[in-house]
């Protein structure tokens, strides 16, 4: 079974600085997708960014970028120019074409003013 590991239970960053949230995965699938979601205290899961296993370029969406290293099976999220509103739980998730998302345990990010 696929496994997603987020080793950072909590992270702190100063406003306007960049931060990297780690995610590694374990799979034998050839085709898969990696997702990052943000969950504020309100509860809604907000999609941030997606990386397909065959994508040659690292995904970017505004201030979010995904540092995808396929050989190392890592898909780290980079948030540039952190804002106070970025404080939330961040989940990395794996999808192997089975319609099931496998989530990591999450990282709680706190942005300090």
Partner 1 sequence: DTEVTQTPKHLVMGMTNKKSLKCEQHMGHRAMYWYKQKAKKPPELMFVYSYEKLSINESVPSRFSPECPNSSLLNLHLHALQPEDSALYLCASSRLLAGASYEQYFGPGTRLTVT
Residues of this chain that interact with partner 1 (CB under 8 A) are 31-33, 35, 37, 42-47, 50, 52-55, 89, 91, 95-97, 99-101, 103-106
Task: Tell the smallest beta-carbon distance from residue 17 to partner 1 (Å).
Answer: 25
Measured from the CB atom, is 21 or 104 closer to partner 1? 104
Measured from the CB atom, is 7 or 14 closer to partner 1? 7
Measured from the CB atom, is 49 or 79 closer to partner 1? 49
| Assigned token pair, 18 | 């960049």
Task: Tell the smallest beta-carbon distance from residue 21 to partner 1 (Å).
Answer: 14
Task: Tell the smallest beta-carbon distance from residue 79 to partner 1 (Å).
Answer: 19
Burial class (CB in 10 A: 0-12, 13-18, 19+), 109: buried
20-34 per-residue burial string, b: 16 or more CB within 10 A, e: under 16: ebbbbbebeeeebbb
Measured from the CB atom, is 6 or 76 closer to partner 1? 6
Task: Tell the smallest beta-carbon distance from residue 65 to partner 1 (Å).
Answer: 18
CA 27/CA 40 separation, integer angstroms: 29
Which secondary-structure segment (H or E) carries 8?
Answer: none
> Would you call 25 helix, strand, or coil by DSSP?
strand
């Amino acid at each position: 079974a696929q496994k997603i590991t987020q080793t950072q239970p909590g992270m702190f960053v100063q406003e306007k600085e960049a931060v990297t949230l780690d995610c590694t995965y374990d799979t034998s699938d050839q085709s898969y997708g990696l997702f990052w979601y943000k969950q504020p205290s309100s509860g809604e899961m907000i999609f941030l960014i997606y990386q397909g296993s065959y994508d040659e370029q690292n995904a970017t969406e505004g201030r979010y970028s995904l540092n995808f290293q396929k050989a190392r099976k890592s898909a780290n999220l980079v948030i540039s120019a952190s804002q106070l509103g970025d404080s939330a739980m961040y989940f990395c998730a794996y999808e192997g074409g089975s319609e099931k998302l496998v989530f990591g345990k999450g990282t709680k990010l706190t942005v300090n003013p």
